[in-house]
């Protein structure tokens, strides 16, 4: 968390935040270290406008997951600031639970409770944490399950579903709280290749519906197709950012070119 004085935000930015036109998520000079001085994010700036998709790409260990975990307040930052709809969420006075209610997160491992049905997995947090009445939570869950092609699966236990279906349930669970922002961390990495498409299809649909998303992914073809903004992370620095056409088509940095070259050689772009 920043220990330095912050300059007041300009009136225009406040007005933009109030009207919903400002960035949904903004990182300002975010610095994150682990242990004694291993710097994982250094001076990361990022703006995620409403109804856009930002793809985080970069080699393993470049800091993609850490960035997402900081944005969701799962990790405390060492310096800088993070804003959600213009309000600083890294302020020590922030109610972290309230922030997390506005941010849906899906990780590589779906983390569904095996002893609970799909419906109970989805409605657990809305009912227990957000105090939504059971009938209302279940109605919302069934509506989302229908939308994601899982109608009729509400009563199943997770181990009766394929990996792709379980991951779609995890997405439904993240959407159940009507989040303002969705953070997706390698959500297809654990899936068999033939199941990847169905999950990416859901992300495409969510984009069509206007959901604001930040996605860490090794699926470069998908990032190129779906992202409005691509950020290439290298050693905890956003080395390059731009439209998919810019970053994939005309990378400015050697590091980006080398990374893309490796991806192309591996047949993943």
Residues contributing to the site for ligand ATP (CB under 6 A)? 34-35, 38, 40, 58, 60-66, 186, 216
Judged by beta carbon, residue 34 or residue 113, the one nearer ligand ATP is 34
Q: How far is CA 87 from CA 8, 114, 123, in A?
A: 12, 37, 28
Judged by beta carbon, residue 106 or residue 141, the one nearer ligand ATP is 106
Instruction: For the CB of residue 69, give the shortest distance to ligand ATP in the complex, in Å.
Output: 7
Instruction: For the CB of residue 216, give the shortest distance to ligand ATP in the complex, in Å.
Output: 6
Which of ligand ATP, Mg ion, none binds 27 (CB below 5-8 Å, type-dependent)? none
Six-digit token string for 50: 């409403």
Which of ligand ATP, Mg ion, none binds 4 (CB below 5-8 Å, type-dependent)? none
Judged by beta carbon, residue 1 or residue 15, the one nearer ligand ATP is 1
Q: How far is CA 193 from CA 83, 187, 199, in A?
A: 36, 12, 11
For residue 74, what is the enclosing H or E element? Answer: none
Instruction: For the CB of residue 189, give the shortest distance to Mg ion in the complex, in Å.
Output: 8
Burial 2-15 (b: 16+ CB within 10 A, else e): beeeeeeeeeeeee
Where do contacts with Mg ion occur on this chain (CB under 5 A)? 64-65
Distance CA(71)–CA(91), nearest Å, equals 13
Instruction: For the CB of residue 56, give the shortest distance to ligand ATP in the complex, in Å.
Output: 8
Which of Mg ion, ligand ATP, none binds 63 (CB below 5-8 Å, type-dependent)? ligand ATP
E-only strand ranges, 21-152: 25-34, 38-48, 53-57, 79-84, 87-88, 103-106
Judged by beta carbon, residue 154 or residue 182, the one nearer Mg ion is 182
Judged by beta carbon, residue 67 or residue 82, the one nearer Mg ion is 67
Instruction: For the CB of residue 117, give the shortest distance to ligand ATP in the complex, in Å.
Output: 30
The set of residues, in sequence order, having a beta carbon less than 8 Å from that of 99 and lying 6+ positions away, is 72, 73, 84, 89
Distance CA(42)–CA(17), nearest Å, equals 26
Instruction: For the CB of residue 190, give the shortest distance to ligand ATP in the complex, in Å.
Output: 12
Judged by beta carbon, residue 65 or residue 212, the one nearer ligand ATP is 65
The set of residues, in sequence order, having a beta carbon less than 8 Å from that of 139 and lying 6+ positions away, is none
Handedness of CA 196, 198, 201, 206 (dihedral sign): negative
Which of Mg ion, ligand ATP, none binds 113 (CB below 5-8 Å, type-dependent)? none
């Amino acid at each position: 968390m920043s220990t330095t004085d912050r300059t007041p935000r300009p009136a225009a930015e406040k007005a933009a935040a109030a009207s919903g036109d400002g960035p949904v998520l903004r990182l300002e000079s975010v610095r994150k270290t682990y242990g004694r001085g291993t710097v994982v994010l250094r001076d990361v700036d990022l703006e995620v406008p409403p109804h856009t998709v930002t793809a985080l790409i970069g080699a393993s260990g470049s800091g993609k997951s850490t960035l997402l975990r900081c944005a969701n307040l799962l990790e405390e930052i060492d310096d800088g600031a993070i804003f959600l709809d213009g309000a600083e969420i890294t302020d020590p006075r922030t109610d972290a639970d309230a922030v997390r209610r506005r941010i849906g997160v899906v990780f590589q491992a779906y983390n569904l409770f095996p002893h609970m049905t799909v419906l109970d997995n989805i409605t657990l947090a809305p009912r227990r944490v957000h105090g939504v009445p059971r009938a209302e939570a279940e109605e919302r869950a069934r509506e989302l399950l229908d939308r994601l092609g899982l109608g009729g699966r509400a009563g199943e236990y997770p181990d009766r579903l394929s990996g792709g279906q379980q991951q779609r349930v995890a997405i439904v669970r993240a959407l159940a709280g009507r989040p303002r922002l969705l953070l997706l961390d390698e959500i297809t990495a654990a899936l068999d290749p033939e199941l990847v498409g169905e999950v990416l299809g859901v992300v495409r649909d969510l984009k069509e519906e206007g959901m604001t998303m930040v996605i860490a992914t090794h699926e470069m073809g998908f990032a190129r197709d779906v992202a409005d903004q691509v950020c290439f992370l290298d050693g905890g620095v956003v080395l390059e950012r731009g439209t998919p056409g810019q970053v994939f088509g005309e990378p400015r940095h050697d590091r980006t070119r080398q990374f893309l070259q490796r991806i192309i050689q591996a047949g993943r772009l």
